Amino acid sequence: MTPNPSDDLARRAAATPSATALVWDKGSLTYRDLDERVTAMAGRLRECDAAAGDTVTLCATPGAETVTALFGLWRAGCVAVPLHERLTPSEVDRARRIVRPTLHIDNQTLHYLNQSNPASQLRPARPLPNRLASFPNVVACILTSGSSGAPKALGFTRDAFAASVSAVASRLDLTATDRWGLCLSPGHIGGLSLVVRAAMTGASVRLWPSFDAGAVARAVVDGRVTHLAVVPVMLRSILSRLAGERVPATLRCVLVGGAAASRTLLDEAWAAGLPVATTWGMTETASQVATAPPDLARRHPGTAGRPLRGLEVRVAAAAPGTLEVRGPTLASVAIRGPGAHPEPLATDPDGWFATRDLGRIDPDGLVWIDGRADAIIVSGGLNVSPSEVERVIETLPGVTGTVVFGVPDEEWGEVVAAVVEGDPAVVDAQAVDRHCRTRLARGRCPSRIVVVDSLSRTWTGKVMRSRVSERYGRELRVPRPAAAGSGPKPGGEAGGNAQARRIT
């Protein structure tokens, strides 16, 4: 049978059977307990005709039963496809059409799987061919969030997970005494990698049925977690719930990734005493590529740190400013949508994967991320980086998020537009306009601004850029009539003539 993370769990159970593996509000499991439950689950899955090599989707509330089912699938030799528990029925259907599973497990199915004879309720409707037969070492598939387009599925080997775990453990000095708070769903690469990492390092995982900023803050203050992995919107919520409470030294690391954290948010976290580590990664690389431990992140605010051990990062020669990654954590297979055939992850002949992220590597080897290559706005011949404009806007008090993109314009080709999420008592479009004009060259200032109560986000809290630009881009194409002589200057210098309004 293909080596998979359930083998690592079995080794951990043999080495430290009494060590705590999982903790939740009403109980806990040792590694021996978890391993025994996983073996029993694998047996029940086989009773339901889940065979080695079968692809099985798992969409259930995070908890001990879900973790048991995940490792049970691996012990049965299946390819596990964990899905975010907040997916809508139509999103689950799309995911299933991408990976074409033999069996689908949800909360109701988990109930049946914990009965003595679940086979009668859970037999598949019809047998399906193994879509990943030509990739026999793949043990898990993860769907991308779709924040920049339609989601796709990416397949990983156990060795890719192991390489990632080893590199992250080395960078963050992880040990078996760590107690990770699981804030990210196992249906997200950050959550899945955390669960696998814990089994491989012997750490324990604190489970919650869903992200609860208040519960996480209490666990931090009470010293019940040593590590967290969050996205920026989660960090902001945790900060609001801490409300000035002293952060104990038991909290060793708050890993922030998934999206760029603004300098304002980082400063607030450091002021609150949170040991923030900044990181850059993606689903294609089994999570982290570069990570700055807390001390380094504080000394160099905004850096993603140095590449992890075994991973290489370079600026592409063919596309200056775009970063490429090479290393053992890369996905092995990609399925780009319903009806698409599995194919190897696209790399160049030397194994370099083009990330589409813009960035640079400084003389000290630190990686800095500047945004997405496919998002550059060209206005009157001037290249404008949306991420640069977004960072400026997010320093305005009351702003909690923003999406900057180009909209077509007959005269300038494109002009800069901004959709800003903010507190209505503090933020309005005129304030955003004034803030930008004092901090950016006029050609980089948004000439179309909309302030909204909330931005569309994925289930991980990541802003859905494509949905936001699609939602507001059409109406922002038509500028407000300008007074004679007040139009934009050559080079797209449209600052000061912003179309501004609030949409709730």
Residue 28 confidence (pLDDT): 98
Q: Give me the pLDDT at residue 424, please.
A: 78
Average pLDDT over residues 336-355: 95
- At 274-311, the pLDDT tens digits run 999 999 999 999 999 999 999 999 999 999 999 999 99
CB atoms within 10 A of CB 428: 17
Distance CA 19, CA 35 (A): 12
pLDDT, residue 355, reads: 94
Give pLDDT tens digits for 189-198: 999 999 999 9
What the block records as the tokens of 99 is: 């990976």
Pick the more confident residue, 83 or 408. 83
| Residue of 434, 416, 423 whose CA lies nearest to 400 | 423
Burial class (CB in 10 A: 0-12, 13-18, 19+), 471: middle
Q: What is the pLDDT of residue 120?
A: 60
Q: Which residue has the higher pLDDT, 148 or 351?
A: 351
Task: Give how far the C-alpha of residue 460 lies from the chain's centroid of Cα atoms, to the nearest Å.
Answer: 6
Contacts of 290 (CB under 8 A, 6+ apart): 279, 280, 281, 304, 305, 306, 307, 308, 311, 313, 367
Query: DSSP class of residue 145?
Result: -
* Contact call for residues 69 and 105 (beta carbons, < 8 A): yes
DSSP code per residue over 423-475: -TTT--HHHHHHHHHTTS-GGGS-SEEEEES---B-TTS-B-HHHHHHHHHTG
d(CA 279, CA 373): 19
The residue with greater pLDDT, 121 or 192, is 192
Query: What band does 112 get if pLDDT is binned at 50, 70 and 90?
Result: confident
* pLDDT for the residue numbered 494: 37
Structure confidence at residue 123 (pLDDT) = 59
pLDDT higher than threshold 80 for residue 203: yes
Q: What is the pLDDT of residue 485?
A: 35
Tell me: pLDDT of 148 over 90: no
Q: Where in the chain is the domain with CATH 3.30.300.30?
A: 376-503
Q: Is the pLDDT of residue 47 over 50?
A: yes
Q: CA–CA separation, 163 vs 355, rounded Å?
A: 19
pLDDT tens digit sequence for 383-405: 788 888 998 999 999 999 999 99
Domain with CATH 3.40.50.12780 in the chain: 5-369
What CATH number does the domain located at 376-503 have? Answer: 3.30.300.30
> Is domain 5-369 given the CATH code 1.10.3720.10 in the classification?
no
pLDDT at 486: 34
Q: What is the pTM of this model?
A: 0.83
Classify residue 82 by its DSSP letter.
E
**Would you put residue 491 in left (φ > 0), alpha (ψ -120 to 50) or beta?**
left
Find tokens 């210098």 and name the residue. 493
| Mean pLDDT (whole number) for 350-368 | 95
The percentage of residues in the chain with a pLDDT greater than 90, rounded to a whole number, is 68
pLDDT tens-digit map of 471-504: 898 778 755 444 333 333 333 333 334 444 443 3
What is the per-residue pLDDT across 206-259, written as a single tens digit (0 to 9) for each?
999 999 999 999 999 999 999 999 988 899 999 999 988 999 999 999 999 987
**Average pLDDT for the chain:** 89
Which DSSP helix (H) or strand (E) runs through 7? helix 5-15
Mean pLDDT along residues 168-181: 98
